[in-house]
C-alpha cells in the first residue's frame, strides 16, 4: 500500500498516547506534587500558599503518637486480614477444585462479597452486629452463649476484630478464584504419579500442590497487601477510625488531617511515610522473587 | 467407591454451609428490606411476618434515590466506555512492544508500581488542583479520576489478553495490505470481545462501587452517586433500618445482574491479571 521505509515506528506511541497522557497528568504529576507538599505547611483553606519547611513535617511525624498508633494498627490490619483471606481462599479453592454440579453458580455466589459495594457491605454488617436489634447478638443470647450484647463496633478491641473480619469477608473471593485457577493448571499426572509412589493426601498437598501454586499465591498476596495497606473505605465506612481512634489506619489519619484539620502539607507527609513503607515491602518481594529465580 | 461418594457429599455439604454463612449478610439485608419499619425493630425472627414493599416505595418516591442512580449510571457508563477504549489501544501497543522496546518495558513496570502508591498522596494534590480550577462538585471530575485510576489494571489485563493471540492474525493482515491500525481495528478487536468484556466489567464495578473519592470531591446532593447517597441516608435516617436495607438492595441490583451473566469474564480477568504478573 505505502512504500516501506525503515524509520522510527510511531504506531505504538500513538496508540498509548491517551493512556500515557492521562496517567501522567492524573497519577504521576499529582504524585510528585504530593511529595513536594509533604515538605510544606500548605493549608486547605489557602492552597496557593505553599511554604517550604524542609524536613520539619517529618521530624514532627517521628514524635506524633497518633501516627505511630495508626502505623501499628495499619500493619496488623493489613497482614492479619491478608493472611486470613489467603487461608480462607485456599480452603475454599481446594474444596472447589473438583467436578461440581452448578460450578458457575457457585463461583458467581462466591464473588458476591467481592462485588458488593463497600457501603452496602458495611451497612448490612452494622445492622447484623447492632447491640440491640442485631441478629448476631440475639442469636448468641438465645443460644445462651452470652448474657450481655457484644459491642462489636463500640468496644475498641472488638472493633479491631470486626474491621479485620469485614476485610477478610470482602477480599477472600479474589484469593479463592486466583488460587482455584492456579490449582486447575496443575497437571493431574503429578498426583497420579505420587499416588503410585504411595504419597498420602497431606504429602501431596505439601509437596505438589503448595509448590505448584506458590508463584501465583505470592503475587496475589503481595497485591492484596498493597491494596489493604492503602485502602481506607472499609474501615472508614464502618467505624470512621473509632472508637477512640482504635481502628484508625494511616490512610484515614491522612484523610482527617487533610480534610478536617485542613493541613494538606502534613497529611501528605503521612502519605509519603506510607509510600516509604510500601516501597520497603515491595523491595523485599522482589528480593524473594530474585532468589527464587537464582535457585 | 462408597467412601469416595461419602467424601464428596461431605465436601459438598461443607461448601454449601460455608457459602450460606458467607452470603448471610447479603441475604439477611434483602430479607430485612421487606419488613415494615415497626416490625424490623420488634421482630427478631429471620423472616418477616408480613412481607411489604413500603420501604422500596418510600425510597423511590420520597428521596433523591433516582437522582443518585442516574448519576451513578452516567459516571459508570461513560468511564467504562472511555477507559476500555484507551486501555485497549495502550494494551495492544504494550503486547506488541513490551519485549522489543525499553520504553514499553518500563511502562509495563510502571503500571504495576502504581498499585503501590497511597491514594491520598494523589487525591490531596488533585483536590487542590480541581478546587483551583473550580471543578469540584462535578460528575465529569469523577469520570476523569475513575477513568484514569482504572487504566493501569485495564491495560495490564488487555495486554495479557492480546499477547495470547496467534501471530498469524497480524501476518494475514499485513499480506492483505492493512496498516497496523487497520489490523487492530478490523482484525484484532472483533475477536477480542472476551478480553474487552473483562476490562469493561472491572471498570464498571469499580466506578459503580467507589465511595472515597466521590466523598471528597462531591458535596452537592444532586451530584451524588449511589454509595454517597446511601451514606447520606445512614446519617439522616440512622435507625430506619428497613429503608436502609431497601436502598442497599437496590444499589446491588445492577452489579448482581452483571455478575450472573458475566462471572466467566470476571474470573478470566482476575486470573489473567494475577497469574500473568
pLDDT higher than threshold 80 for residue B128: yes
pLDDT value, residue A188: 83
- Between these two residues, A148 and A70, which has the higher pLDDT value? A70
Averaged confidence pLDDT in chain B: 88
Which residues, 6 or more positions from B235, have their beta carbon under 8 angstroms from its beta carbon? none
pLDDT higher than threshold 80 for residue A295: no
C-alpha triplet B80, A238, A277: angle, nearest 5°: 75
Point out the residue among A31, A109, A216 whose CB comes nearest to the CB of B19.
Answer: A109
pLDDT value, residue A51: 87
- For residue B235, the distance in angstroms to the closest alpha carbon of chain A comes to 11
Q: Please state the rounded mean pLDDT for residues B20-46.
A: 86
Report the candidate in B174, B168, B200 with the shortest Cα–Cα distance to residue B81. B200
CATH topology of domain B63-237+263-276: MetI-like fold (1.10.3720)
Summarised one tens digit per residue, pLDDT across range A13-34 is 999 999 999 999 999 999 999 9
Under the phi-then-psi rule, with left for phi > 0, alpha for psi from -120 to 50, and beta for the rest, what region is A244? left
Q: How far is CA A122 from CA A229, A256, B16, B29, in A?
A: 18, 20, 24, 11
User: In chain B, pLDDT over 90 holds for what percent of residues?
Assistant: 45
pLDDT value, residue A132: 83
Confidence of residue A285 (pLDDT cuts 50, 70, 90): confident
Residue A87 to residue A92: CA distance in whole angstroms: 9
Domains of chain A: which residue ranges? 48-294
Question: Poorest-confidence range of A143-147, A210-214, B232-236?
Answer: B232-236
Confidence of residue B273 (pLDDT cuts 50, 70, 90): low
Which residues, 6 or more positions from A163, have their beta carbon under 8 angstroms from its beta carbon? A77, A234, A235, A238, A239, A247
Point out the residue among B116, B216, B241 whose CB comes nearest to the CB of A279.
Answer: B116
Residues in chain A: 295
Where do we find the cell 478546587?
B131
A232 in B contact zone (CB under 8 Å)? yes
Confidence of residue B130 (pLDDT cuts 50, 70, 90): very high
Where do we find the cell 495508626?
A70
Confidence of residue B277 (pLDDT cuts 50, 70, 90): very low
pLDDT higher than threshold 70 for residue B276: no
Query: Which residues in chain B are contacts of A111 at CB distance < 8 A?
Result: 259, 263, 266-267
Summarised one tens digit per residue, pLDDT across range A241-281 is 989 999 999 999 999 999 999 999 999 999 999 999 999 99
Confidence of residue B274 (pLDDT cuts 50, 70, 90): low
Query: For chain A, how far is it from start to end, CA to CA, in angstroms?
Result: 51
Confidence of residue A90 (pLDDT cuts 50, 70, 90): very high
**Under 8 Å between Cβ of B213 and B139:** no
Q: Which residue of B has its CA nearest to A271?
A: B121
Query: Which residues in chain B are contacts of A106 at CB distance < 8 A?
Result: 15, 19
A233 in B contact zone (CB under 8 Å)? yes
Segment 52-81 of chain A within 8 Å of chain B by CB: none
pLDDT higher than threshold 60 for residue A128: yes
A237 in B contact zone (CB under 8 Å)? yes
Summarised one tens digit per residue, pLDDT across range A154-177 is 999 999 999 999 999 999 998 998
Query: Which residues in chain A are contacts of B127 at CB distance < 8 A?
Result: 258, 264
Q: How far is CA B268 from CA A76, B264, B272, in A?
A: 31, 6, 6
**Under 8 Å between Cβ of B120 and A271:** yes
Question: For the domain bounded by A48-294, which CATH number is listed?
Answer: 1.10.3720.10
- For residue A100, the distance in angstroms to the closest alpha carbon of chain B comes to 8
* C-alpha A287 chain-centroid distance: 21
User: In chain A, pLDDT over 90 holds for what percent of residues?
Assistant: 58
Whether B25 sits inside 8 A of A121 (CB atoms) is: yes
The size of the A-B interface in CB pairs under 8 A is: 272
Point out the residue among B14, B115, B275 whose CB comes nearest to the CB of A216.
Answer: B275
Q: Which residue of A has its CA nearest to B217?
A: A259
pLDDT value, residue A192: 84
Report the candidate in B84, B83, B106, B82 with the shortest Cα–Cα distance to residue B94. B106
ipTM of the shown complex: 0.90
Query: Following DSSP, what letter does each residue of B89-127 receive, concatenated?
Result: HHHHHHHHHTTT-HHHHHHHHHHHHGGGS-HHHHHHHHH
pLDDT value, residue B272: 63
**Under 8 Å between Cβ of B104 and B98:** yes
Q: Is B28 exposed, middle or buried (0-12, 13-18, 19+ CB in 10 A)?
A: middle
Summarised one tens digit per residue, pLDDT across range B67-118 is 999 999 999 999 999 999 999 999 999 999 988 889 998 998 888 888 889 9
CB atoms within 10 A of CB A196: 8
Q: Please state the rounded mean pLDDT for residues B19-37.
A: 91
Residue B23 to residue A110: CA distance in whole angstroms: 8
Residue A246 to residue A153: CA distance in whole angstroms: 10
CB atoms within 10 A of CB B60: 15
Q: At what angle do helices B241-276 and A118-129 cross, to 10 degrees?
A: 130
pLDDT value, residue B1: 65
pLDDT value, residue A290: 80
DSSP, collapsed to helix, strand or coil, labels residue B224 as coil
Segment 78-117 of chain A within 8 Å of chain B by CB: 92, 95-96, 98, 100, 104, 106-113, 115-117
Q: Is A152 exposed, middle or buried (0-12, 13-18, 19+ CB in 10 A)?
A: buried
Q: Please state the rounded mean pLDDT for residues A182-202.
A: 84
B96 in A contact zone (CB under 8 Å)? yes
Summarised one tens digit per residue, pLDDT across range A42-61 is 999 888 888 899 899 999 99
- Between these two residues, B5 and A83, which has the higher pLDDT value? A83
pLDDT higher than threshold 60 for residue A1: no
Summarised one tens digit per residue, pLDDT across range B160-183 is 888 888 788 888 888 888 888 999
CB atoms within 10 A of CB B38: 9
**Under 8 Å between Cβ of A258 and A41:** no
Whether A236 sits inside 8 A of B212 (CB atoms) is: yes
Amino acid at each position: 500500500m505505502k512504500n516501506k521505509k525503515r524509520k522510527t515506528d510511531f504506531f505504538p506511541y500513538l496508540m498509548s498516547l491517551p493512556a500515557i497522557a492521562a496517567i501522567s497528568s492524573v497519577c504521576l504529576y499529582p504524585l510528585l506534587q504530593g511529595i513536594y507538599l509533604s515538605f510544606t505547611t500548605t493549608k486547605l483553606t489557602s492552597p496557593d500558599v505553599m511554604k517550604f519547611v524542609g524536613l520539619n513535617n517529618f521530624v514532627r511525624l517521628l514524635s506524633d503518637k497518633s501516627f505511630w498508633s495508626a502505623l501499628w494498627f495499619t500493619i496488623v490490619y493489613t497482614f492479619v486480614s491478608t493472611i486470613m483471606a489467603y487461608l480462607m481462599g485456599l480452603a475454599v479453592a481446594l474444596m472447589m477444585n473438583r467436578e461440581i454440579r452448578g460450578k458457575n453458580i457457585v463461583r458467581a455466589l462466591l464473588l458476591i462479597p467481592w462485588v458488593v459495594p463497600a457501603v452496602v457491605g458495611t451497612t448490612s454488617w452494622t445492622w447484623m452486629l447492632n447491640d440491640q436489634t442485631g441478629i448476631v447478638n440475639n442469636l448468641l443470647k438465645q443460644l445462651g452463649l452470652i448474657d450481655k450484647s457484644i459491642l462489636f463496633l463500640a468496644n475498641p478491641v472488638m472493633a479491631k476484630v470486626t474491621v479485620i473480619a469485614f476485610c477478610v469477608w470482602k477480599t477472600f473471593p479474589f484469593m479463592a478464584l486466583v488460587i482455584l485457577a492456579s490449582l486447575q493448571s496443575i497437571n493431574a499426572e503429578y498426583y497420579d504419579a505420587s499416588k503410585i509412589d504411595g504419597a498420602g493426601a497431606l504429602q501431596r498437598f505439601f509437596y505438589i500442590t503448595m509448590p505448584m501454586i506458590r508463584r501465583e499465591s505470592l503475587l496475589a498476596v503481595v497485591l492484596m497487601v498493597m491494596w489493604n495497606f492503602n485502602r481506607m473505605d472499609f474501615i472508614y465506612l464502618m467505624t470512621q477510625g473509632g472508637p477512640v481512634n482504635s481502628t484508625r489506619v494511616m490512610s484515614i489519619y491522612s484523610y482527617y488531617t487533610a480534610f478536617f484539620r485542613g493541613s494538606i502539607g502534613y497529611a501528605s507527609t503521612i502519605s509519603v511515610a506510607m509510600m516509604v513503607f510500601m516501597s520497603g515491602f515491595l523491595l523485599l518481594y522482589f528480593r524473594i522473587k530474585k532468589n527464587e529465580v537464582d535457585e | 467407591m462408597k467412601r469416595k461418594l461419602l467424601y464428596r457429599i461431605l465436601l459438598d455439604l461443607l461448601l454449601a454451609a460455608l457459602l450460606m454463612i458467607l452470603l448471610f449478610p447479603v441475604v439477611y439485608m434483602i430479607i430485612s428490606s421487606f419488613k415494615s419499619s415497626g416490625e424490623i425493630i420488634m421482630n427478631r425472627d429471620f423472616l418477616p411476618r408480613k412481607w411489604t414493599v413500603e420501604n422500596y416505595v418510600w425510597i423511590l418516591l420520597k428521596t433523591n434515590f433516582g437522582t443518585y442512580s442516574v448519576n451513578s449510571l452516567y459516571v459508570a457508563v461513560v468511564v467504562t466506555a472511555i477507559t476500555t477504549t484507551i486501555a485497549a489501544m495502550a494494551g495492544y501497543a504494550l503486547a506488541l512492544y513490551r519485549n522489543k522496546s525499553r520504553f514499553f518495558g518500563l511502562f509495563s513496570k510502571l503500571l504495576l508500581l502504581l498499585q503501590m502508591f497511597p491514594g491520598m498522596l494523589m487525591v490531596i494534590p488533585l483536590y487542590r488542583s480541581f478546587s483551583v480550577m473550580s471543578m469540584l462538585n462535578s460528575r465529569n471530575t469523577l469520570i476523569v479520576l475513575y477513568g484514569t485510576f482504572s487504566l493501569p489494571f485495564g491495560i495490564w489485563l488487555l495486554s495479557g489478553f492480546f499477547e495470547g493471540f496467534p501471530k498469524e492474525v497480524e501476518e494475514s493482515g499485513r499480506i492483505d495490505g492493512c496498516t497496523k491500525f487497520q489490523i487492530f481495528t478490523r482484525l484484532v478487536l472483533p475477536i477480542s470481545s472476551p478480553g474487552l468484556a473483562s476490562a469493561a466489567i472491572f471498570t464498571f464495578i469499580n466506578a459503580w462501587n467507589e465511595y472515597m473519592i466521590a466523598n471528597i470531591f462531591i458535596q452537592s446532593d444532586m451530584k451524588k452517586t449511589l454509595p454517597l447517597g446511601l451514606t447520606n441516608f445512614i446519617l439522616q435516617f440512622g435507625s430506619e433500618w428497613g429503608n436502609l436495607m431497601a436502598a442497599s438492595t437496590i444499589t446491588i441490583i445492577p452489579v448482581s445482574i452483571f455478575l450472573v451473566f458475566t462471572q466467566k469474564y470476571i474470573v478470566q480477568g482476575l486470573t489473567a491479571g494475577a497469574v500473568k504478573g
